[in-house]
C-alpha cells in the first residue's frame, strides 16, 4: 500500500471523506487534457509579505525546461476555500460522514504533519501537539491531511476527518529520543571531560546517524510527487535535523541520504516549514535546574552550547530555504504561526506545458518558472523525471487481480467509476472476532463518447490494513449486476453529475472479519468494456465486542425505494435490513436506522436492561425528532446482543443537513453512535 503510513513504515497512502465543496477555479482556465507529454506543475506566487498573489494570467509567467522557453498550454488559478466559520451546530464541523467517496476535488491543499523524534519531552511535546492541532483547525473544504512520525509512533493516513487526525495527534507520547534529564546529564559530562555523550541523534541505535529522518522526508516527497494539482505542505515539527556529522562514517551515510532527500523535494513541489516546539530557552548549562555545573565558571561548555544551538537552528532552516517555506524557532507560541503558513497556500496556479522530447528519455529535466511582476517570489518544483519511452500506461492493461491490487496502492482514491463505501462493524455470534460489513455504491459512468455505461459485470477487491500499513484481511468478488432501467436517471447524470435515486445505483455487499483495532479499508473495482478501474478508501474502528460491558455496532441506514443490492441477501444473517450508502433522501422516502447493542458477547456477568435514546438534530442544533426505549435484559439472551431499529420522519423534515445520534446507557456505562444525512 503506497500510503503515507506505508512510506514511513518502510524506512523506520485518500480515505477520504472530503466535503463536497470543490476549490473555486478562477481567472484564465484551460483544460488539462490527458496526454503523456503534458507536464502539470503547481506554482505558488507570494509577495514581499508572503501573501498569495491572485489574478495573474498565463502571460505573466515564463517557463523554462532545461533553460529553454516552453509555451504554457494549460493554465488555472486555484483559490482554496477558507475554513468555514464555527457553525451553530458543532457536529457540522466535527462529525465526519460515515460514507467515503472517490469523487473528491482534484485541487486543494495536502498537509503532512511530521512529528519528529527530536521533540523534547515535557512542555515542548505539548506545544508540538498544539502546532499539529492548529494545522488541523486550518483545513478547508477539499483539503487533506496526514499525521506521520519518525519515532515509530502512531500515524494517520490522508483524510479530512478532523476527529481521526486529532486522535492520532493526541495519542503521540512526545519524543522517542532523549529526555530533558538525559540531555542535562550529558551536557554536564561534556563540560567536565572530553567524551562524546551517548544520547545524540547520531548514535541512537533506533536511528543510526539520524538518517531515518532524511529517508522519511524522501519517501514522503516521492509519494506526493504523483499528485500534481494540489498544493503540498510538510510541517516538520521537531528541534533538530541532522544533515552532516564530524563522524566520518556517519557523514557518508548522511551525505547519501541528504542528496536523495533534496532530489525528491526538488521534484515534488513540496513546501517544507520547520517549527521548533522547544521555544525560547537559555542555552547555558548553568541555567538549567538539573545542571551540576551551577555556580561554576564553564566558558567552554557555554560556548559549545551556544554554537550547537545556532547550528540546530541553521539546520532547521535548510529545507524551508530550499522549498520556499518558513522556519519558526525561538518562539514560545509557534502554533500561532500555523495560520499564516496555511494562509499563504490559499491561492496557487496550475501550469501545463508539453515536454520538449515527447518520446521520453527517463532523465531528470530542470524546470524554472518566473513572473514578469517585480517583487514576487515564485515557488514550484525544480524539475521532473521524464517517463521511459515505450512504457505503456497502466490503464491500457487488461483488468486483473494484480491490476486491482495496484490501484489500491495509490495515495488517493482513483475516479473513473463513481464509488462510495460504508464500513459497518458488528459482532459475530459464537466468535470473538468482529466483522466489517462493506456496502459499496456503484453508479453508471460516462464513456469517452459521453454516453452512460452501466456495466453488467463488476470485479471488486477489498483489502484491510492496520495503522502501520500491514495487510490484515481481504476479499474478492466477481458479480453480475442487474441494473434497473431509468432514462430519467441517465439524463440527470449527463447534465448534473451522478444521480442519487435508487434506480441509478447498485450497492455491492461484502464483509471482512477483523480483530479489534483501527483499519483502513481500500476497495478496487473493475468494470466496463474496455475495462475501467476505480478505487475508494475509508477507515473503520473495530471494537472488542466480546469484552466491553456495553458497546454498540455501527449505525446503518436502509431506504425504500431501495437500491439494487448484490449479492441479494448477502448480509441477511447479520442484519434485518438491507443497508445502503445513500445519505441524501427525498421527503417521500421511507428511511430506517438499525444497530445492535452488546453486553460483552463473551462475558458471564448478569444481563441488565439498557436505555436507548435516539435524537435527530438539524443544522441549527435543534432537536426535530426524538424517542427513547428500554431494552429489557431478556432480549439480550441470544449472544448477549439485542437489535434496535427506528423509522425517521422524513416527511416532517425541511431540506437540509441532519445528524441522527443513538445513545445507550446501562447504569454508569454509556455508548453512542451517530450518522449524518441530508433531506432534499
Query: Could you give the angle at which helices 211-224 and 248-268 cross, rounded to 10 degrees?
Result: 20
Does pLDDT of 146 surpass 70?
A: yes
Sign of CA dihedral 277, 280, 285, 286: negative
* Tens-place pLDDT, residues 405-441: 888 988 899 998 999 999 999 999 888 899 999 999 9
Is the per-residue pLDDT at 384 higher than 60? yes
State the virtual CA torsion across 547, 549, 555, 558 in degrees, nearest 10. 90
* pLDDT at residue 179 is higher than 70: no
* 184 has pLDDT over 70: no
Is the CB of residue 329 less than 8 Å from the CB of residue 337?
Answer: no
pTM of the model: 0.84
Asked if residue 148 has pLDDT above 80, the reply is yes
Out of 388-392, 477-481, 486-490, give the one with best mean pLDDT. 477-481
Q: What's the rounded Cα separation, in Å, for the pair 441 and 492?
A: 18
What's the average model confidence in pLDDT over 175-189?
A: 38
Q: Give CA–CA dist 231/228, Å, rounded.
A: 8
For residues 612-639, one letter each, b for 16 or more C-beta atoms within 10 angstroms of the residue's C-beta and e for the rest, the string is bebbbbbeeeeebbeeeeebebebbeeb
Query: Each residue of 634-646: pLDDT tens digit?
Result: 999 888 999 999 9
**Quick one: pLDDT band at residue 398, thresholds 50, 70, 90?**
very low
Instruction: Answer yes or no: is pLDDT of 626 > 50.
Output: yes
Place of cell 527517463: 362
3-class SS of residue 120: coil
Most confident of 233-242, 278-287, 384-393: 233-242
DSSP letters along 81-93, please? PPPPPPPSSTHHH
Q: Bridge partners of 38?
A: 354
Q: Residue 192 pLDDT > 80, yes or no? A: no
**Better-scored residue on pLDDT, 152 or 602:** 602
pLDDT tens, residue by residue, 288-314: 444 454 445 556 655 666 667 778 889
The pLDDT of 34-48, averaged and rounded, is 83
Q: What is the pLDDT of residue 171?
A: 87
327-380 pLDDT, tens per residue? 999 988 999 999 999 999 999 999 999 998 887 788 899 999 999 999 999 999
What does pLDDT average to over the chain?
A: 84
Amino acid at each position: 500500500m503506497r500510503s503515507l503510513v506505508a512510506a514511513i513504515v518502510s524506512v523506520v497512502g485518500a480515505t477520504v471523506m472530503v466535503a463536497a465543496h470543490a476549490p473555486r477555479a478562477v481567472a484564465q482556465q484551460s483544460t488539462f487534457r490527458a496526454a503523456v507529454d503534458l507536464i502539470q506543475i503547481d506554482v505558488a506566487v507570494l509577495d514581499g509579505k508572503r501573501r498569495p498573489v491572485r489574478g495573474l494570467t498565463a502571460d505573466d509567467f515564463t517557463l523554462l525546461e532545461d533553460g529553454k522557453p516552453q509555451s504554457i498550454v494549460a493554465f488555472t488559478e486555484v483559490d482554496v476555500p477558507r475554513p468555514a466559520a464555527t457553525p451553530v451546530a458543532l457536529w457540522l464541523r466535527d462529525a465526519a460522514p460515515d460514507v467515503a467517496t472517490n469523487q473528491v476535488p482534484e485541487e486543494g491543499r495536502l498537509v503532512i504533519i511530521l512529528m519528529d523524534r527530536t521533540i523534547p519531552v515535557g512542555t515542548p511535546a505539548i506545544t508540538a501537539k498544539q502546532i499539529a492541532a492548529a494545522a488541523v483547525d486550518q483545513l478547508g473544504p477539499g483539503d487533506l491531511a496526514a499525521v506521520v512520525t519518525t519515532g515509530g509512533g502512531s500515524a494517520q493516513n490522508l483524510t479530512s476527518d478532523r476527529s481521526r487526525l486529532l486522535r492520532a495527534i493526541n495519542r503521540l507520547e512526545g519524543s522517542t529520543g532523549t529526555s530533558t534529564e538525559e540531555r542535562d546529564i550529558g551536557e554536564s559530562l561534556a563540560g567536565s571531560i572530553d567524551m562524546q555523550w551517548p544520547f545524540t541523534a547520531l548514535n541512537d541505535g533506533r536511528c543510526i546517524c539520524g538518517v531515518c529522518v532524511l529517508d522519511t522526508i524522501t519517501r514522503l516527497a516521492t509519494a506526493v510527487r504523483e499528485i500534481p494539482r494540489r498544493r503540498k505542505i510538510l510541517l516538520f515539527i521537531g528541534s533538530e535535523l541532522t544533515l552532516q556529522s564530524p563522524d566520518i562514517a556517519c557523514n557518508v551515510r548522511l551525505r547519501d541520504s541528504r542528496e536523495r532527500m533534496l532530489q525528491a523535494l526538488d521534484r515534488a513541489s513540496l513546501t517544507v516549514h520547520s517549527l521548533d516546539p522547544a521555544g525560547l530557552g537559555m542555552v547555558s548549562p548553568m541555567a538549567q535546574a538539573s545542571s551540576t555545573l551551577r555556580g561554576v565558571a564553564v566558558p567552554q561548555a557555554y560556548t559549545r552550547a551556544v554554537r550547537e544551538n545556532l547550528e540546530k537552528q541553521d539546520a532547521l532552516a535548510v529545507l524551508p530555504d530550499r522549498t520556499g517555506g518558513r522556519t519558526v524557532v525561538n518562539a514560545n507560541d509557534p502554533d500561532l504561526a500555523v495560520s499564516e503558513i496555511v494562509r499563504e497556500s490559499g491561492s496557487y496556479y496550475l501550469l501545463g506545458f508539453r515536454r520538449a522530447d515527447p518520446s521520453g528519455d527517463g532523465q531528470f529535466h530542470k524546470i524554472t518558472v518566473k513572473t514578469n511582476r517585480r517583487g514576487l517570489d515564485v515557488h514550484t518544483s525544480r524539475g521532473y523525471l521524464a517517463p521511459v519511452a515505450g512504457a505503456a500506461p497502466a490503464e491500457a492493461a487488461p483488468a486483473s487481480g494484480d491490476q486491482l491490487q495496484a490501484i489500491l496502492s495509490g495515495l488517493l482514491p482513483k475516479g473513473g467509476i463513481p464509488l462510495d463505501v460504508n464500513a459497518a462493524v458488528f459482532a459475530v455470534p459464537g466468535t470473538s472476532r468482529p466483522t466489517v460489513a462493506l456496502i459499496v455504491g456503484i453508479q453508471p459512468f460516462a464513456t469517452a463518447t459521453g454516453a452512460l455505461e452501466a456495466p453488467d459485470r463488476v470485479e471488486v477487491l477489498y483489502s484491510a490494513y492496520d495503522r502501520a500499513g500491514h495487510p490484515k484481511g481481504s476479499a474478492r468478488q466477481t458479480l453480475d449486476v442487474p441494473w434497473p432501467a431509468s432514462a430519467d436517471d441517465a439524463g440527470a447524470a449527463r447534465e448534473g453529475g451522478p444521480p442519487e435515486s435508487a434506480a441509478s445505483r447498485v450497492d455491492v455487499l461484502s464483509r471482512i472479519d477483523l480483530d479489534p483495532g483501527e483499519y483502513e479499508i481500500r476497495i478496487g473495482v473493475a468494470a466496463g468494456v474496455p475495462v475501467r478501474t476505480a478505487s475508494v478508501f475509508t477507515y473503520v474502528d473495530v471494537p472488542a465486542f466480546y469484552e466491553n460491558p456495553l458497546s454498540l455496532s455501527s449505525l446503518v441506514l436502509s431506504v425504500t425505494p431501495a437500491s439494487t443490492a448484490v449479492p441479494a441477501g448477502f448480509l441477511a444473517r447479520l442484519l434485518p435490513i438491507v443497508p445502503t450508502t445513500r445519505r441524501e433522501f427525498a421527503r417521500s422516502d421511507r428511511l430506517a436506522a438499525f444497530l445492535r447493542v452488546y453486553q460483552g458477547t463473551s462475558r458471564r456477568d448478569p444481563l441488565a436492561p439498557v436505555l436507548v435514546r435516539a435524537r435527530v438534530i438539524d443544522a441549527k442544533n435543534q432537536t426535530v425528532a426524538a424517542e427513547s426505549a428500554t431494552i429489557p435484559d431478556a432480549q439480550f439472551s441470544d449472544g448477549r446482543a439485542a437489535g434496535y431499529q427506528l423509522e425517521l420522519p422524513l416527511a416532517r423534515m425541511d431540506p437540509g443537513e441532519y445528524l441522527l445520534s443513538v445513545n445507550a446507557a446501562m447504569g454508569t456505562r454509556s455508548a453512542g453512535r451517530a450518522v449524518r444525512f441530508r433531506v432534499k
